[in-house]
Amino acid sequence: MEFDTITAISTPMGEGAIAIVRLSGDDAVEIADRLFKGKAGKKLRELKSHTIHYGYIVDPKTEETVEEVMVSLMRGPKTFTREDIIEINCHGGLVSVNRVLGLVLTNGARLAEPGEFTKRAFLNGRIDLSQAEAVMDLIRAKTDRAMNVAIGQMEGRLSNLIRGLRQELLEVLAHIEVNIDYPEYDDVEEMTHQLLIPKVLNVKSEIQKLLRTSSQGKILREGLSTVIVGRPNVGKSSLLNSLVHENKAIVTDIPGTTRDVIEEYVNVRGVPLRLVDTAGIRETEDIVERIGVERSREVLKKADLILLVLNNNEQLSHEDEKLFEAISGMDAIIIINKTDLPTKIDLDTVKKLANNQPIVTTSLLHEKGIDELEEAISSLFFSGSLEAGDLTYVSNSRHIALLHQASSSIDEAIQGIETQLPIDMVQIDLTRTWELLGEIIGDAVHESLINQLFSQFCLGK
């Protein structure tokens, strides 16, 4: 497959030690040769692949030296895109890197679209679609655990499992096809319902294993939307600051200080939390505070995890009881703060209202109870199973949806086998399952979906 030559800046814009302008395509080496003057005096096309060379970028029209660079030469197919790749390493300033990019563009390259390098790796068969999506997951990973899941997917852990399941289904489908098309062949074993059921149940079992990891995988990929709620001045902003380890929110003794929703990502025992500090929920005549309270109520409805903060030094109020009602049936942790002050709260009533939701005591003023809170968050969603290194985690929403569809399709096949439907009718559902699994790795996917997926990548990747 032949493509034109593309280029883009592959490092973040701004000041830094190094910036990289990447080229990929059949003319990448030729374009670089027009601009690069190496100290060795040789052209890049004369040099060995996978080598790096010191020299200068020179404007071929004016003979002006534009930049001092190191140029990496990598010839396809042993590259990320399976095309010839040139990487020009220049100084990391806005002016210098843009001047180099401008020269590359005027000498025959085209500016790459977002994710186009990875898209070419997919289209050229270097990686499959699930591996390509894992590249962006790796870039966006906010914890070590999320990064490890992305690396496993990039290395083909999910792909290999999906391919194995598709191969099992393909062998079954081929056997059925032979029985239907060549019934006169005596040396081919007839595919009966009895022979079919263990093979289909095995595929079903493997799909279910993947789906069992999906909730955890999705959390690692996207993070838990975690909302801190409570009456004013119970310590919500102090909790945010303690988890973030930074003074992100204003903390005062004046109720109603937090007027709006404050968001911050935080890593808790390898679990990424999108932490939201809300305005204290209470009845108020202050117009600005009332708007904040309404926003707090809206955020509460969309949360994956609720951290309800109570004041150990005060009796439970009607507003506290209303908050317990609001979070009933949701994943929540009850935090009794200000344990450094005399206890006035009725703990028995709290336990009754919590209805088996975990309860943690803290003194945020003295940084006590944070470890116990972090452990409660981790246990609530992972219960220690995250440490199982042999599990293949499914984290991508697209993959999860396709696995659910594949599970439903194979259920219909199993139902057909159990009710003794003709084998060729069961074959339809098995073929559909095979196709759905193929969409995960990109063996059967529409071009419009491919374009949409890669458009979400950053420029230069």
Topology annotation, domain 222-386: Rossmann fold (3.40.50)
| CA gap 21, 26 in Å, rounded | 16
Q: What is the mean pLDDT of residues 340-367?
A: 90
The stretch 381-400 carries a mean pLDDT of 66
Q: What is the pLDDT of residues 110-139, one digit of tens each?
A: 999 888 998 899 889 888 888 888 887 777
In this structure, what token pair is assigned to residue 8?
A: 């883009």
Q: Span 421-445, mean pLDDT?
A: 87
Q: What is the CATH number of domain 135-213+393-454?
A: 1.20.120.430
Please give the mean pLDDT across all residues of the chain.
Answer: 81
pLDDT at 447 over 80: no
How far apart (Å, rounded) are the C-alpha atoms in residues 189 and 142?
53
On whether the pTM is more than 0.85, the answer is no
| pLDDT bracket for residue 393 (50, 70, 90) | confident
pLDDT for 128 equals: 84
pLDDT value at 389 more than 60:
no
d(CA 141, CA 133): 12
Q: In what order do the strands lie in the sheet with 332-337?
A: 262-268, 271-277, 224-229, 305-311, 332-337, 359-361
The class level of CATH for 6-112 reads alpha beta
Q: Under the phi-then-psi rule, with left for phi > 0, alpha for psi from -120 to 50, and beta for the rest, what region is 313?
A: alpha
**pLDDT number for residue 239:** 85
Share of the chain above pLDDT 70, in %: 81
Categorize the per-residue pLDDT at 340 as very low, low, confident or very high, splitting at 50, 70 and 90. Answer: very high
Q: Between 23 and 330, whose confidence is greater?
A: 23
Domain boundaries along the sequence of the chain:
6-112, 135-213+393-454, 222-386
Structure tokens at 425: 């009718």
CA distances from 339 to 161, 234, 344, 348, 365 (A): 50, 11, 10, 16, 9
Is the pLDDT score of 412 beyond 90? yes
Residue pLDDT, tens place only, 35-74:
999 887 889 999 999 999 999 999 999 999 999 999 999 9
Task: Name the strand (E) or helix (H) holding 335.
Answer: strand 332-337
Given pLDDT bands bounded at 50, 70 and 90, which one contains residue 274? confident
